[in-house]
Amino acid sequence: MGSRQHPVVSDDRSAERSRERERQIIDVLMALREGEVTTYGDVAEVAGHPKQARLVGRILAATDADVPWWRVVNAAGRLVAGDPVVQSKCLRDEGVVVADGRVTGAPIGRFSRSLAPSVPRSVPRTVPRSRRSDP
């Protein structure tokens, strides 16, 4: 009795899922406002792909789309894109404070001084209906 072969998952379906993930991530990137700084992980989470920060980095490195790449930094605020000097200048032009290759303050987003560092503004926060005080 021979082993039964399983059909191979279609490359078309895999490519379609990959394009959809890329579109979702690019949509989040395009929604970033001037002066807003976020992390790779926050972008992934908002796009519906939690814990996929590296996916965001790969898409940023490979996309031909004109996205605001300079507004994305690592979780510690470090500039990690291709050219940190250019990234730093772009951020400073938007009112972001950069010191020693790290974002230390921003008008909007995770690094905003008016927000606790553990709560990224780019991630929408909702209160579950079961915890709301209104009926």
Residue 71 reports pLDDT greater than 70: yes
**DSSP for 14-29?**
HHHHHHHHHHHHHHHH
Domain harbouring 31, CATH code: 1.10.10.10
User: Is residue 129, in this structure, part of any structural domain at all?
Assistant: no
User: Is residue 134, in this structure, part of any structural domain at all?
Assistant: no
Structural domain span for residue 16: 12-120
pLDDT reported for residue 8: 52
Q: What is the pLDDT of residues 82-110, one digit of tens each?
A: 889 999 999 999 999 999 999 999 999 89
Joined together, the tokens standing for residue 2 give 């021979």
Query: From the CA atom positions of the chain, what is the Rg in Å?
Result: 19
Q: What is the pTM of this model?
A: 0.74
Domain total in the chain: 1
3-state SS assignment for residue 32: coil
User: Is residue 111, in this structure, part of any structural domain at all?
Assistant: yes
User: Is residue 84, in this structure, part of any structural domain at all?
Assistant: yes
Size (the chain), residues: 135
User: Is residue 100, in this structure, part of any structural domain at all?
Assistant: yes
Residue 3 reports pLDDT greater than 50: yes
User: Is residue 133, in this structure, part of any structural domain at all?
Assistant: no
